[in-house]
Amino acid sequence: MAKRILVVEDNDLNRKLFCDVLKSQGYAVEPCADGLEALDRARQFVPNLIIMDIQLPNISGLDLIEAAKGDATLRAIPVLAVTAYAGKGDEERIRDAGAEGYLAKPVSIGPFMAAVRGLVEKTTA
């Protein structure tokens, strides 16, 4: 069975790129443009990995990561945080929120897939 990945990204082009690349590598992908829907979508889809944009409208990706890590159902799902606003201390804040991986945009496909594979292989679901 294909590993499942939830892609939480409000930018249409980035979301499509991530989803297309992941699908081409054999993953089952669920796109989510609205951060407010992300946790409900994760509970329904039960992904092996959540790719989380940090800069989302309405809610911060950091808040979503913290909420997921505080949720018994979602806690064990690894999170790969992706952000265009990589400033000093951002990676530390993102990892402190609970993200297991971190990439700065623009994302190159090689490092992106290496990060995805590394985190997906940690899950047993």
Tell me whether residue 31 is in a domain: yes
d(CA 121, CA 105): 23
- Higher-pLDDT residue of 90 and 65 is 65
pTM: predicted TM-score of the whole model, two decimal places: 0.95
Tell me whether residue 52 is in a domain: yes
Q: What is the pLDDT of residues 63-80, one digit of tens each?
A: 999 999 999 999 999 999
Beta strands in the chain (DSSP E): 4-8, 28-32, 49-53, 79-83, 101-104
**For residue 68, how many other CB atoms are within 10 A of its CB?**
23
At 5 the three-state DSSP class reads: strand
Q: What's the average model confidence in pLDDT over 11-15?
A: 96
- Please give the pLDDT value at position 7: 98
- Higher-pLDDT residue of 122 and 105 is 105
pLDDT grade for 125, boundaries at 50, 70 and 90: very low
CATH of the domain at 87: 3.40.50.2300
Q: How many domains are there within the chain? A: 1
d(CA 49, CA 60): 18
Q: What's the average model confidence in pLDDT over 110-118?
A: 97
Mean pLDDT of the chain: 94
Domain that holds residue 13: 4-120
Tell me whether residue 125 is in a domain: no
